[in-house]
Structure 1
Amino acid sequence: MAGAVSSHGCRRLLGPQLRDLLIQKHCVLFDCDGVIWNGEKAVAGAPEVVGLLKKRGKRVFFVTNNCTRPRESYVQKFSRLGFKDVVQSEILSSAYCSAVYLRDVAKVQGKVYVIGCDGVHKELREAGVPFVEGETDVPGATIFDCPLDSDVRAVLVGYDDKVNFLKLAKACCYLRNPDCLFLATDRDPWHPLPRGRVTPGSGSLVVALETASERKATVIGKPSRFMFECIASQFGVDPARSVMVGDRLETDILFGSRCGLDTVLTLSGVSTLEQAQGYRDGRTTDKAICVPDYVVDTVADFLPALAR
């Protein structure tokens, strides 16, 4: 059964097994960071894998919780790193999906207050979703005397490297209204940086606001099903004929499992084989859904399976 977890989870995939898997699948979903690139360097073999999958008639999509850039910027990055013929419709970021959710599902009648980077702002603007713009930091301003927009009907929280206490306080004030939606692009707790450093992710800001507002955010990005629903509704993708390739157990693999996809963990990013095996062999069942069906070292392991 697609996405099923059993004692056979974490199976190593080699050429013949990978070939058999890809014969069964029509659609391959990739995470980006840690899977097909690390920073400004493509994972070795990744451009060739994507190109060969398309040449073999497979549908390829890229699903990322990174909300810092708009999809058009991702297209440019793919091209810059040697990926050919990646088009904007194949890229689903948490910023884009949040804009789609606000426009097509929530149908917000008012403005959105955003904690996030330009990627979120540009996707909202592209989708025609109004949000609070043009705020300038007044020296010495506090939540006691700063203006609030009476037309705000939703708060959207994503990664924001310019976040400050006043932004959080404004969001809390808006969320006092029970009719104000509370959305998060994703719950990623942290992101790896060069030289072993990390930066807090969107999830750290979401938890802060959940604590202060005593409310729970609706999460749009992985592991929420909504990102796959966007693909399925637009392109008619069958989960039973799809596979998710990612590097994070609690986001990518959980996302694939929840959506009924087979899952492949690549060891070129965040999660390790030991963590996956620990979840598989653990006595508790709450992490069982995070166990990948298969494991590869990197996406370059797909190359022998795609060779004719």
Structure 2
Amino acid sequence: MSRSLPKNLAKFTKPQMESFFGSFDTVLTDCDGVLWLYNNVIEGSNSVINRLIEMGKKVYFITNNSTKTREELAEKARVMDFNVGFDNMISTAFLAAQYLKKQNFNKKVFIVGSTGISRELDEAGIAHTGVGPDIMQGSIITMVKENFVPDPEIGAVIVGFDEHISFPKMMKAATYLNNKETIFVATNTDERFPMPGFVIPGTGSIVRGIETCAERKAAVMGKPENYLCKVFFTEEMLKDPSRFLMIGDRLNTDILFGKNNNFQTLLVETGVHKMDKVNEIIEDLDKNGNADKNLENQVPDFYISRLGDLFNNFD
């Protein structure tokens, strides 16, 4: 089966790089694992983004991380010397709030998540239960009979990253979702976060647990789902999707999102996935000899070790 294999931008000549830079107008970039790792900028990523902006490219930071608001993301980027602002930020906490707002939602939200979600709901004028620890007190029977009285005003459940996830939170979320009229929203389904030497469970681990006990599927806001395109980009902007470049470190979110939208895609190897994972996918596709679109769309068009190396062969 013939397919286009990823091209290593580190091996491009200057004329090839000139052609590459001329092939897109809009850059969509993931944040964690591409631009920074937690609170540390990845060397050279800010210089590359700033230079792309100087070249006239429109740049948007697109993160599945729901722990921060758009304003908080813009401030984090500013501190790290990225020349971007509030309008360049697209976060799943914001998308979740907009999802409800566009439905004229007028009830209360039960949150499994963090302040990124609660603050974006506040900004949208939507009532919610708040965030923070909800620790198991006593037995399940005690919790059901004495410690939990379902709030009849709850009309939606939003699930995002929650370092305080607990049995009571899962039970309450599933109880509210037992009412089929309750809206079920997940910010993203990332399985894990990049952290050398450790596995940090991601939002997807929490979402899948609640989906299992609720026996329902959530509407997912983040990559690879397409809701953010509906919110941020008009049909006119998306008329020529090949003029978009999606940069990411995850194949099953960033690259899949880009390919599903017919954007060009660039994998950087500073986060979750490396080229060895891409090669595994290609081998699997070749071995099975079938066209698995979900797998095929996880193969990027280009790759590079880190974003900071992007201009090495151009100058």
User: What is the TM-score when the length of structure 2 is the normalising length?
Assistant: 0.89
C-alpha deviation, 1:109, in angstroms? 3.0
- What stretches of structure 2 of length at least 5 have no aligned partner? none
C-alpha RMSD over aligned residues: 2.2
Residue of structure 2 equivalent to 1:119: 116
> Which amino acid in structure 2 is aligned with residue 260 of structure 1?
N
Counterpart in the other structure of 1:52: 51
Contact 2:112 2:131 survives alignment (8 Å): no
Cα 1:28–1:269 shift into 2, 3 Å: same
2:25 equivalent to 1:7: no
Does the 8 A contact of 1:7 with 1:280 survive in 2? Answer: no
Q: 1:303 is matched by which residue type in structure 2?
A: F
Of the structure 1 ranges 62-71 and 137-146, higher mean CA displacement relative to structure 2 is found in 137-146
Deviation at 1:137, TM superposition (A): 5.2
- Displacement of 1:181 in angstroms is 1.1
SS at the partner of 2:311?
A: helix
Query: Shift of the alpha carbon at 1:72?
Result: 1.4
In 2 relative to 1, CA 186–136 (structure 1 residues): closer, same or farther, beyond 3 Å?
closer
Deviation at 1:6, TM superposition (A): 6.2
Counterpart in the other structure of 1:288 = 296
Question: How far does residue 21 in structure 1 lie from its aligned partner after superposition?
Answer: 2.1
C-alpha separation in 2, matches of 1:168 and 1:190? 19
Alignment CA distance shift 1:20-1:32 (3 Å): same
Give the secondary structure class of the aligned counterpart of 2:271. coil
Classify 1:268/1:137 alpha carbon distance in 2 versus 1 (closer, same or farther; 3 Å). closer
Secondary structure of 1:29's partner? strand
Q: 1:230–1:306: structure 2 CA closer, same or farther, 3 Å change rule? A: farther
Q: Residue 245 of structure 1: SS of its match in structure 2?
A: strand
- Residue 163 of structure 1 is matched in structure 2 by 165
User: Identity of counterpart residues, as a percentage?
Assistant: 33
Q: Secondary structure of 2:109's match?
A: strand
Stretch deviating more after TM superposition (263-272 or 38-47): 38-47
The correspondence of residues 1-308 of structure 1 with structure 2, limited to 5 A, is: 7-13=3-9, 14=12, 15-84=14-83, 86-104=84-102, 106-133=103-130, 139-140=137-138, 142-145=143-146, 146-193=148-195, 195-233=196-234, 236-238=237-239, 239-283=241-285, 284=288, 285=292, 286-304=294-312, 307=315
Amino acid at match of 1:62: F
Does the 8 Å CA contact 1:19/1:305 hold for their aligned counterparts?
Answer: no
Q: CA deviation at 1:110?
A: 1.1
- Tell me the secondary structure at the aligned position of residue 206 of structure 1: helix
Instruction: Name which of structure 1's ranges 20-29 and 247-256 shifts more when overlaid on structure 2.
Output: 20-29
What CA distance in whole angstroms lies between the structure 1 residues aligned with 2:210 and 2:131?
23
Aligned to 2:145, what secondary structure does the other structure show?
A: coil
Deviates more, 1:72-81 or 1:126-135: 126-135
Q: CA separation in 2, counterparts of 1:269 and 1:263?
A: 15
Distance of 2:210 and 2:123 partners within structure 1: 27
Q: Which moved more, 1:42-51 or 1:155-164?
A: 42-51
Q: Using the TM superposition, name which of 206-215 and 237-246 deviates more.
A: 237-246
Residues in 2 aligned to 1:90 and 1:83: alpha-carbon distance in whole angstroms: 11
Distance 1:306 1:53, change over 3 A: farther
What residue ranges of structure 1 are gaps of 5+ in the alignment?
none
Q: 2-side partners of 1:232 and 1:43: how far apart?
A: 28
* Count of matched residue positions in the alignment of Structure 1 and Structure 2: 300
Q: Deviations over 1:15-66 (max 9, x none)?
A: 4433312212110111001101122221221111111111111100010011
Deviation at 1:236, TM superposition (A): 3.1
Q: CA deviation at 1:117?
A: 0.6
Give, as a single letter, the amino acid of the residue that structure 2 aligns with 1:293: D
- Between 1 and 2, higher relative CO (CA 8 Å, sep ≥ 6) is seen in 1
Could you give the per-residue CA deviations for residues 141-180 of structure 1, whole angstroms, max 9, x where no partner exists?
6133312110111111000001211111111110111111
> Using the alignment, how far apart are the partners of 2:215 and 2:67 within structure 1?
27
Deviation at 1:82, TM superposition (A): 1.9
Give me the whole-angstrom Cα distance separating, in 2, the residues matched to 1:52 and 1:134: 39
C-alpha separation between the residues in 2 aligned to 1:305 and 1:240? 23
